[in-house]
A = this chain, B = another copy of it.
Amino acid sequence: MLSHKAKYALKALLYLAQQEETHVSRTIEIAEAASIPKKFLEQILLDLKRGHFVGSKQGKFGGYYLLKSKNDITLADIHRLFDGAIALLPCASLNFYERCSDCVNESECLLRHGLITIREETLKAMEGITIASLVKK
């Protein structure tokens, strides 16, 4: 399951994607439109900024706007930024690889092979869902 953070991030990105290109959206505006606690959203938008998905303008009349194209922000990206690995175990992950704490012999692990298959299929599906594709629905 997605964390609230990841869900809120997606809702915020969807909001931004539906505004005019030139529009800069204030945090409070996004928070109210998408039913997200404002102070929590502040943190999330900063994370999205650090991830180079959105840009910001500081000071009066400042706010946030999409930095990347809607077509280039995928569900996989947002999952990774807020919830980490797509894979079901760290040993089957591409971007968050780690050995399982209880692993004795990774190359002989029966579980790992199946989980790599799942990761490949899930990832393909998640990369197919973009902010643009969600808005168009």
A-side interface residues toward B, CB under 8 Å?
1-2, 7, 10-11, 14, 35-36, 75, 79, 84-85, 87-90, 100, 102-104, 110-111, 113-114, 117-118, 121-122, 125-126, 129, 133-135, 137
Question: How many of these chains are in the complex?
Answer: 2
CB-CB under 8 A for A110 and B122, given A1-B87, A36-B102, A104-B35: no
Residues of chain B with a CB closer than 8 A to A11's CB: 111
Which of A11, A14, A75, A114 neighbours the largest number of chain B CB atoms within 10 Å of its CB?
A114
* Inter-chain contact B118/A14, CB cutoff 8 Å: no
Residues of chain B with a CB closer than 8 A to A1's CB: 84-85, 87-90
Which applies to chain A's interface (DSSP): helix, strand, loop or mixed? helix
* Inter-chain contact A129/B110, CB cutoff 8 Å: no
* Inter-chain contact B122/A129, CB cutoff 8 Å: no
